[in-house]
Amino acid sequence: MQYSTELETTIKDMVQKGRGILAADESSPTIAKRFKAINVEPTEENRCAWRNLLVTTDGLGDYISGIILFEETLGQKSGDGNTIPRVAWTRNIVPGIKVDKGKIPLALSPGDLITQGLDGLAERLRSYKQQGARFAKWREVYAIDKHVPSQHGIRANAEMLARYAAVCQEEGLVPIVEPEVLMDGGHDIDRHTEVTEAVQHAVFHALCRHHVVLELMILKPNMVLPGKGCRHAEPGEVATATLKVLRRTVPAAVPSINFLSGGQEPEEATANLNAINQQGLDAPWRLSISYGRALQQTALQEWMGKPEMVSAAQKALFKRARLNHLAMLGEYQITLENE
């Protein structure tokens, strides 16, 4: 492979004990919703200010090894005149880029979804790489209903993830592969287990068909959880179900599993991660994070779009990152939330 040494270096920089990934790749409509909740206008200036706040947080690189950015962020500049990706790397945080173009209904497969963005992907990756991106991320989404996802939907989504990952590695960017089985709905944890296992089996079969080097990729899966309309599961139950699926589906060659938070509250996501690491001491992979809202929410609430609140927001972000660092080590305690 042409870029194998480059990919190995990126994996080494990103996959480290006690460090995770910050997902700051919200599309313009998504970040508009986040800003609306704190009464901030979703202007380009405010979006840039928020993302600059994230990457300039003192000490964040102690706990965060990578940051996923949205396309516009690659060219945005910090207050010192450097681009946001450059600022991130000066703080030992590897910059990456979301490259999928969002989900649409899968034709002739009611209820299934598929993600767009493969057309022209190689050319876009070359451009992103020139702007500082060293890894990429692509998300496929699976809703759960009585007959969804279908076998056709599972296979189609796996194929998209594998084709994306192969193009990334060919262009010298580490692919983050994100198959997200949603927690929306009234399904129980057993149903979520069943679907997640089927999805991940299909994904790794597809990755192997497309010659993706497993040692040079990162998996970003959901934890196994009951639907929002079902009873709450305790962290130990979530950990047991999640590790059961991972041990059945994820080859040991994969260096890191960086969970998405998937609509969990910040404290819930941290507690579940902690339980997974406590139960997964013998796991062959790093068990880490690629959280978005679960890292950013408390900081957003502190910031409220006010320049004078930047310091308070950065302290909140740093605290959330530190608590998740402890959870990656299996050393988190709920009492630390009040410190």
The pLDDT, as a whole number, for residue 289 is: 98
Q: Which secondary-structure segment (H or E) carries 170?
A: helix 151-171
Question: Would you place residue 78 in the very low, low, confident or very high pLDDT band (cuts 50, 70, 90)?
Answer: confident
Residue 173 — pLDDT band, cuts 50, 70, 90? Answer: very high
SS3 content of the chain, % helix, strand, coil (to 5): 50, 15, 35
Total tally of structural domains belonging to the chain = 1
Q: How confident is the model at residue 230 (pLDDT cuts 50, 70, 90)?
A: confident
pLDDT band at 226 (very low <50, low <70, confident <90, very high): very high
Q: Rounded to a whole number, what is the largest CA-CA distance in the chain?
A: 53
Terminus-to-terminus CA distance in the chain, angstroms? Answer: 48
pLDDT surpasses 90 at 339: no
- Residue 77 catalytic? no
- Give 322's Cβ-side CA count (13 Å radius): 12
pLDDT for the residue 39: 95
Q: Which structural domain, as residue segments, surrounds residue 202?
A: 4-338
86-99 residue pLDDT tens: 999 999 999 999 99
Residue 84 pLDDT > 90: yes
Residue 220 falls in the annotated catalytic set: yes
Which of 98, 129, 137, 220 is labelled catalytic? 220
Confidence of residue 156 (pLDDT cuts 50, 70, 90): very high
Amino acid 154: pLDDT: 98
Residue 165: pLDDT band (50, 70, 90) is: very high
Looking at residue 80, its pLDDT comes to 83
Does residue 56 surpass a pLDDT of 90?
yes
Catalytic residue selected from 159, 178, 180, 197: 178
Q: Is the pTM of this model over 0.95?
A: yes
Give me the CATH number covering residue 203.
3.20.20.70
> pLDDT for 189-224, tens place per residue?
999 999 999 999 999 999 999 999 999 999 999 999
Mean pLDDT value of segment 285-299: 97
Phi then psi dihedrals of residue 108, to 5 deg: 60, 25
pLDDT tier for residue 81 given thresholds of 50, 70 and 90: confident
pLDDT, position 31: 95
Q: Classify 176 as helix, strand or coil.
A: strand
